[in-house]
Amino acid sequence: MKRVLVTGAAGFLGSHLCERFLKENYHVIGMDNLITGDLKNIEHLFPLKEFEFFHHDVSKFVHIPGTLDYILHFASPASPIDYLKIPIQTLKVGSLGTHNLLGLAKAKDATMLIASTSEVYGDPLVHPQNEDYWGNVNPIGPRGVYDEAKRFQEAITMAYHRFHGVQTRIARIFNTYGPRMRLNDGRVLPAFIGQALRGEDLTVFGDGSQTRSFCFVDDLIEGIYRLLLSNYVEPVNIGNPQEITIKEFAEEIIKLTGTSQKIIYQPLPQDDPKQRQPDISRAKKILGWEPKITRTEGLKITYEYFKSLPPQELNKKEHRQFH
Ligand code: UDP
């Protein structure tokens, strides 16, 4: 039985990855420091004998007993609101954490996949973004802590591959949504659905003409799975190329939820990318992968998930202890 380590296991993507690898008959070791992750996302896995969990911060030395075949590094705050609240941890998990895990991959002769991001393209001047574009990032802006950590992460991953011969994979993940997103993490989809469910107006930042392209989580996990098992070392965009303006997106959520609330406009956050759409030609060619789930289908599933949460979750403000 192959053994895989998933960091950020209690998070949105990490929890879905754990499930997928358990389904594929792997022994799964989950790791999370629970700063932004939540054990609720994986508590249903605890009874399984092929699942184990370590409460650990990967910015510190990582020890795993026994063999390891694969490492998927998905630990990181991933919403602009989180970067503002925990900038140092964001930098550390992408840099020190990645360094520790690459050392582990080298010691165990494991293949390591890193969760990189469309944020490496910054506020892109090339549209749609292909993997050969080097990006337009403000290193000292509010997003710099995430963007530069992720750019460093790619650099050190390639260095370990070239210098130490570690088998590595780089997934550049675009906006993704689905069940287990944190309701109050500030990201646009949980923000809009949460507002609709609470009977509040939907807050569009700026004039809403900025674009994003949203990928349903099941499609994303399939892309990551295929990339890990490929032998392709260069970065691969994984995302859904269906692009939409944030204003249109708010209108879709109003229609989906049937809320009688309206759109209100608030100031655009600093360095908010004006447009974002993945060019997925590489993923199509190398992995034979493309998204299958339409936004209509994916949003319906996600809305059902948020509706099924206990009402106290909906009104809960985030009281996380950040240190
Ligand atoms: N946004 C918005 N209203 C909200 C939250 C976000 O209009 O309540 C906008 C945000 O300014 C950005 C887009 O939605 O243009 C996506 O934001 P998100 O934080 O989800 O992620 P990003 O793609 O910017 O990393």
What are the residue boundaries of the structural domains of the chain, listed by start?
A: 3-176+217-238, 178-213+241-276+293-314
d(CA 182, CA 79): 10
Ligand 1 centroid distance, CA of 184 (Å): 13
Taking residues 245-263, what's their average pLDDT? 97
The pLDDT of residue 323 is above 70:
no
110 — pLDDT class (breaks 50, 70, 90)? very high
Q: Is 245 in the pocket of ligand 1 (CB under 6 A)?
A: no
116 — pLDDT class (breaks 50, 70, 90)? very high
Higher pLDDT, 67 or 319: 67
The pLDDT of residue 321 is above 60:
no
Residue of 12, 181, 205 to mutate, ligand 1, most atoms within 8 A of C-beta: 205
The pLDDT of residue 25 is above 90:
yes
- Give the per-residue pLDDT at 118: 98
Residue of 188, 209, 251, 252 to mutate, ligand 1, most atoms within 8 A of C-beta: 188
Query: Average model confidence (pLDDT) for the chain?
Result: 96
The conformation of residue 269, written as its DSSP 8-state character, comes to: P
Superfamily of structural domain 3-176+217-238: NAD(P)-binding Rossmann-like Domain (3.40.50.720)
The per-residue pLDDT for range 264-296, each reduced to its tens digit, is 999 999 999 999 999 999 999 999 999 999 999
Ligand 1 centroid distance, CA of 34 (Å): 24
The pLDDT of residue 317 is above 80:
no
The per-residue pLDDT for range 70-79, each reduced to its tens digit, is 999 999 999 9
- Give the per-residue pLDDT at 315: 81
Looking at the DSSP assignment, which residues form a beta bridge with residue 212?
Answer: 244
Contact 198, 316 (CB under 8 A): no
d(CA 274, CA 269): 11
- Give the per-residue pLDDT at 314: 83
Q: Which of 95, 207, 79 is nearest to 143 (CA)?
A: 79
146 is known as an active-site residue: yes
- Give the per-residue pLDDT at 15: 98
Per annotation, catalytic residue among 26, 83, 121, 146: 146
* Strands (DSSP E) found in 103-225: 111-117, 168-173, 176-177, 202-205, 211-213, 215-216
Best CATH choice for the domain 178-213+241-276+293-314 from the list 3.30.360.10, 1.10.3720.10, 3.90.25.10, 3.30.70.260: 3.90.25.10
Query: What 3-state class would DSSP assign to 150?
Result: helix
Extract the tokens encoding 232.
Answer: 């392709």
Ligand 1 centroid distance, CA of 127 (Å): 19
d(CA 237, CA 170): 9
Q: Is 265 in the pocket of ligand 1 (CB under 6 A)?
A: no
The conformation of residue 108, written as its DSSP 8-state character, comes to: H
- Give the per-residue pLDDT at 20: 98
Q: Is 212 in the pocket of ligand 1 (CB under 6 A)?
A: yes
**What is the value of pTM for the model shown?**
0.96
Query: What 3-state class would DSSP assign to 306?
Result: helix
CA distances from 90 to 21, 82, 101 (A): 26, 8, 16
Extract the tokens encoding 83.
Answer: 């970067």
Contact 180, 126 (CB under 8 A): no
The per-residue pLDDT for range 160-214, each reduced to its tens digit, is 999 999 999 999 999 999 999 999 899 999 999 999 999 999 999 999 999 999 9
Taking residues 248-261, what's their average pLDDT? 97
The pLDDT of residue 320 is above 80:
no
322 — pLDDT class (breaks 50, 70, 90)? low
Angle formed by the axes of helices 295-308 and 246-257, nearest 10°: 60
